[in-house]
Amino acid sequence: MTDFTHFNAAGEAHMVNVGDKPQSKRKAITEGRISMRPETLRMILEGSHKKGDVLGVARIAGIMAAKRAPELIPLCHPLSLTKVEIELLPEENESSIRCSCHVESVGQTGVEIEALCATQITLLTVYDMCKAVDRGMVISDIRLLEKSGGKSGEWKKTD
């Protein structure tokens, strides 16, 4: 079990000590998608949903999620985030909305979890606000696209 950094030699969970690591600029970009009926997407884009600005509320929820990731993921370090940017792109041909999250920090550990939390909660908020009109929505393709900073340096998804 020593290959997993969140377990000690006895297999017990612990928060990794990052105190001796140098600070560096950290960045993570993630994405995900929510697919829905064309009528639901049209309602969102026209702003005619009775609950209001679906994408605006979802964006704020995602920003909040990035800041609260350590409260959701037990061994995640609390971080001082310097940037959380969420882009919601309608894909009308696929009747979906793609969410892209860009998170940055200067610190001793990465921001991938914060970006992934932001992506998922953004899309889950779209689902929550629209479930009364479309219970068949599907959240999918949540993934890390790129990360930089720290000992492991740069990483980009290749396909």
The HSE-up count of residue 98 (CA atoms within 13 Å, CB side) is: 10
For residue 156, give Cα distances in angstroms to 20, 54, 146.
26, 30, 4
How many Å from the N-terminal Cα to the C-terminal Cα in the chain?
30
Whats the size of the chain, residue-wise?
A: 159
Q: What is the pLDDT of residues 15-67, one digit of tens each?
A: 676 767 778 899 999 999 999 999 999 999 998 877 789 999 999 999 999 99
How far apart are the C-alpha atoms of 106 and 157, rounded to whole Å? 22
Q: What class does CATH assign to 36-148?
A: alpha beta
- Torsions phi, psi for 118 (to 5 deg): -60, -45
The answer to whether the Cα torsion of 6, 104, 108, 74 is positive or negative is negative
Q: Is residue 20 flagged as an active site residue?
A: no
What pLDDT score was predicted for residue 19? 65
Q: Which of 27-36, 106-115, 140-149 has the lowest mean pLDDT?
A: 106-115
pLDDT above 90 (res 126): yes
Residue matched to tokens 């979890």: 113
Positions of E strands within 64-137: 81-91, 96-107
**Which one is catalytic: 128, 134, 141, 159?**
128
What pLDDT score was predicted for residue 1? 37
Q: Locate the domains of the chain by residue range.
A: 36-148
Average pLDDT taken over every residue of the chain = 91
pLDDT above 90 (res 147): yes
What pLDDT score was predicted for residue 2? 43
What pTM was estimated for this model as a whole?
0.89
